[in-house]
């Protein structure tokens, strides 16, 4: 192997690793705040990517209707929960969030979708759609069981993954799709050629990490989310609604997932079930970070990306095997290092 | 006397075990009320149930509104605040962030004023404002827990064993602060094992035994009650009124 190949592989690895880092961070965030291991993270990736690809062909993706349907269910659940003390303000708030918002997104999508819609508008629409789906997914599937054990939440999470993946097949079909590149510019440094797309991946990843850092470090809402992660009872006792924290965590996770998808879909063909595998690699990074550490997760994601790039060069048949084997030594080490922990009661 | 907090015929159960039975209590505005009793009498359970952490059967009203349909967060917004036995601080965040989150339900414009007020009550917190809450000493953590609660401008502060595990000199400090709170217009419902100190500072007191109130009255009367003196104040002989 010469240096050029190595540099190429490293470049490839870092590009993928940046995506895994985003997904890993979202997983850590959601787990810390809600204790949900977010298996459907991969579906946020596919839904974002494929909605963008469908919008690029000038059609309206089925996900926009899914958001509307989920909004209706969420509204019904809100009404049911509030049936004993039906206050107008509460109902109106729920109506605005669960009906008006997805209806507006649906209307916007129909109004704006077309063969000549600019890329930026398509991206914004895909993000809005997936953000709404993420928000309602928490309301429908996880908020009613928020107080249960991690295991129950995990089972619900697997259920959501299977359901959303099935819906993905309905909306996008079994054929893979590709989306248009964000930019066709390219930059050559020595032997390496950086496409506009990969530069966008780096730029957006770094921007997102900085934005998350600013959000969690300096805004009251970000601090409230951290507080919920550190001490749920303490957070409730100062009046922070854990449901609100959960909604924001899911909102962030779905937007991050969708952005990752939109960043990849011009590079590789995505199928309705590709997201799961991509999400799983983010998950490995998150596990290496112990599901708690953001910096460790980001570093681990870059390692996962690089290992993947090198193994696809040397033993492409075993690419996934090698990547997922990474998790074994980490788990063994962690189980040896950490004392046995009883599941925490909430 | 118009009651700020009124609880009537409250029952709290853990499964089939009834930890609090048929308890009624009132706290008026600008009043310090204490509940004293031995370990396991149900004091902490009662406070948690009033806050909404545990389900309570019975009627509870705060500032004239029925609290039954309100969850913890709504009760906080209404001005009821609990400083729990285990303090429940945000250990990996610094003192200032902990305090800022205490004002989560308060309009931002008044936060600066609340900070001033809390730092005036607890100057130590101002010195430590950039330190992580988890690295504070026990006494400082208790001050932070009370400070965080006060940031929310509560009408009624419920304190669960604020003196637990603290050095006597710090306990004196905490109790002095509780006295100052009343002067600032905050009512206090105080649960304490340190009955002597609690009765000294309180206006009225309830004595709890095995999940029930067995006595209630002015703190002075309770302190001079023979049975209380023998059980909780450590006096073995009659005439133990000299508190």
Interface list for chain A against chain B, based on CB atoms closer than 8 Å: 84-85, 220, 223-224, 226-227, 230-231, 233-241
Closest to B202 in 3D by CA, of B213, B212, B188: B188
Closest to B161 in 3D by CA, of B146, B181, B176, B140: B146
Cα–Cα dist A216/B182, whole Å: 36
What average pLDDT does the structure give for chain B?
Answer: 88
Closest partner CB to B93 (pick from A85, A230, A239): A230
Q: Which ipTM value was assigned to this complex?
A: 0.89
Contact pairs from chain A to chain B, CB under 8 Å: 67
- Return the structure tokens found at B37: 């009793």
**Cβ A305 vs Cβ A15: under 8 Å:** yes
DSSP H or E stretch at residue A116: none
CB neighbour list of residue A20: distance below 8 Å, 6 or more residues apart: A278, A281, A282, A284, A285, A301, A302, A304, A305
CB neighbour list of residue A48: distance below 8 Å, 6 or more residues apart: A126, A127, A130, A257, A258, A259, A260, A261, A262
- Return the structure tokens found at A25: 């961070």
- Judging contacts by C-beta atoms under 8 Å, the chain B residues touching residue A240 are 73, 101, 104
- Judging contacts by C-beta atoms under 8 Å, the chain A residues touching residue B92 are 226, 230
CB neighbour list of residue A275: distance below 8 Å, 6 or more residues apart: A41, A42, A43, A44, A45, A46, A47, A49, A168, A257, A261
Long-range pairs for A311-318: beta carbons < 8 A, 24 or more residues apart: A313/A5, A313/A9
**Cβ A150 vs Cβ A85: under 8 Å:** no
**Polymer length in residues for chain B:** 243
> Which ranges in A96-241 belong to alpha helices (H)?
101-112, 119-137, 150-172, 196-218, 220-230, 232-237
Closest partner CB to A238 (pick from B53, B92, B148): B148
Taking only the tens place, the pLDDT of each residue in A122-153 is 999 999 999 999 999 999 999 999 888 999 99
Classified as helix, coil or strand, B13 is strand
- Judging contacts by C-beta atoms under 8 Å, the chain A residues touching residue B88 are 231, 233-234, 237
Q: By percentage, how much of chain A surpasses pLDDT 70?
A: 97
- Judging contacts by C-beta atoms under 8 Å, the chain A residues touching residue B66 are none
DSSP B42: S
Q: Does B42 touch chain A (CB under 8 A)?
A: no
Q: Which residues pair with B61 in a beta bridge?
A: B6, B66
pLDDT at B237 over 50: no
Closest partner CB to A220 (pick from B90, B93, B104): B104
A223–B88 C-beta distance less than 8 A: no
Taking only the tens place, the pLDDT of each residue in A6-22 is 888 988 899 899 999 99
The pLDDT assigned to A105 comes to 95
Secondary structure of chain A: what % helix, strand, coil (to 5)?
A: 75, 5, 20
Quick check: pTM over 0.80? yes
pLDDT at A67 over 70: yes
Q: B155 to chain A nearest CA, in Å?
A: 14
**For B74, nearest residue in chain A (alpha carbons):** A239
Distances (CA, A) of B117 to A130, A239, B110, B126: 44, 20, 11, 11
**For A218, nearest residue in chain B (alpha carbons):** B97
Closest partner CB to B72 (pick from A226, A231, A237): A237
Secondary structure of chain B: what % helix, strand, coil (to 5)?
A: 40, 30, 35
Taking only the tens place, the pLDDT of each residue in B165-198 is 888 888 888 899 998 888 888 999 999 888 888 8
Closest to A205 in 3D by CA, of A14, A53, A343: A14
Q: What radius of gyration do chain B's Cα atoms show?
A: 18
CB-count burial class (<10 Å; 0-12, 13-18, 19+) for B220 = middle
**For B152, nearest residue in chain A (alpha carbons):** A238
């Amino acid at each position: 192997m010469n240096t050029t190949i190595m540099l190429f592989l490293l470049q490839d690895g870092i590009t993928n690793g940046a995506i895994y880092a985003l997904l890993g961070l979202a997983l850590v965030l959601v787990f810390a705040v809600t204790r949900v291991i977010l298996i459907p993270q991969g579906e946020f990736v596919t839904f974002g990517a494929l909605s963008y690809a469908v919008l690029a062909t000038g059609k309206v993706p089925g996900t926009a209707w899914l958001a509307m349907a989920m909004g209706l269910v969420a509204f019904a659940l809100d009404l049911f929960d509030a049936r004993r003390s039906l206050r107008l303000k509460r109902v109106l708030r729920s109506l605005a969030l669960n009906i008006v918002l997805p209806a507006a997104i649906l209307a916007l999508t129909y109004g704006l979708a077309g063969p000549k819609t600019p890329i930026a508008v398509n991206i914004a629409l895909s993000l809005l759609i997936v953000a709404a789906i993420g928000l309602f997914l928490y309301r429908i599937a996880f908020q009613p069981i928020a107080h249960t054990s991690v295991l129950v939440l995990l089972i619900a999470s697997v259920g959501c993954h299977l359901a959303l993946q099935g819906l993905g097949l309905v909306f996008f079909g079994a054929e893979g799709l590709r989306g248009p590149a964000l930019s066709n510019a390219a930059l050559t440094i020595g032997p390496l050629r950086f496409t506009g797309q990969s530069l966008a991946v780096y730029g957006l990843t770094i921007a997102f990490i900085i934005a998350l850092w600013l959000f969690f470090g300096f805004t009251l809402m970000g601090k409230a989310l951290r507080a919920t992660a550190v001490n749920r009872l303490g957070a409730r006792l100062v009046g922070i609604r854990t449901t609100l924290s959960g909604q924001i965590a899911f909102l962030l996770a779905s937007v991050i997932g969708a952005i990752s998808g939109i960043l990849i879909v011009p590079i590789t063909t995505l199928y309705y079930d590709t997201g799961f595998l991509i999400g799983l690699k983010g998950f490995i990074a998150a596990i290496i970070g112990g599901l708690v550490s953001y910096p460790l997760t980001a570093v681990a994601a870059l390692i996962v990306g690089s290992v993947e790039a090198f193994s696809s060069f040397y033993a492409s048949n075993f690419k996934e095997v090698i990547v997922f084997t990474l998790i074994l030594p980490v788990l063994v080490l962690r189980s040896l290092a950490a004392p046995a922990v009883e599941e925490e009661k909430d | 006397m118009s009651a700020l907090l009124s609880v009537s015929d409250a029952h709290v159960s853990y499964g089939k075990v009834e930890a609090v039975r048929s308890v009624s209590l009132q706290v008026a505005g600008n009043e310090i009320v204490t509940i004293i009793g031995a370990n396991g009498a149900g004091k902490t359970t009662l406070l948690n149930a009033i806050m909404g952490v545990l389900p309570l059967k019975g009627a509870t009203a705060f500032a004239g509104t029925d609290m039954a349909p309100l969850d913890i967060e709504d009760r906080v917004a209404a001005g009821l605040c609990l400083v729990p036995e285990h303090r429940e601080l945000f250990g990996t965040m610094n003192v200032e962030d902990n305090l800022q989150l205490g004002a989560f339900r308060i309009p931002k414009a008044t936060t600066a004023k609340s900070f001033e007020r809390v730092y005036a009550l607890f100057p130590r917190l101002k010195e430590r404002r950039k330190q992580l809450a988890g690295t504070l000493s026990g006494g400082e953590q208790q001050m932070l827990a009370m400070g965080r609660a006060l940031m929310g401008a509560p009408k009624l502060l419920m304190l669960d064993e604020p003196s637990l595990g603290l050095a006597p000199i710090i306990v004196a400090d905490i109790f002095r602060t509780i006295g100052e709170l009343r002067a600032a217009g905050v009512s206090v419902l105080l649960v304490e094992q340190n009955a002597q100190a609690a009765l000294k500072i309180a206006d009225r007191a309830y004595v709890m035994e095995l999940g029930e109130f067995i006595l209630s009255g002015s703190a002075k009367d309770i302190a001079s009650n023979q049975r209380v003196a023998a059980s909780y104040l450590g006096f073995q002989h009659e005439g133990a009124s000299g508190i």
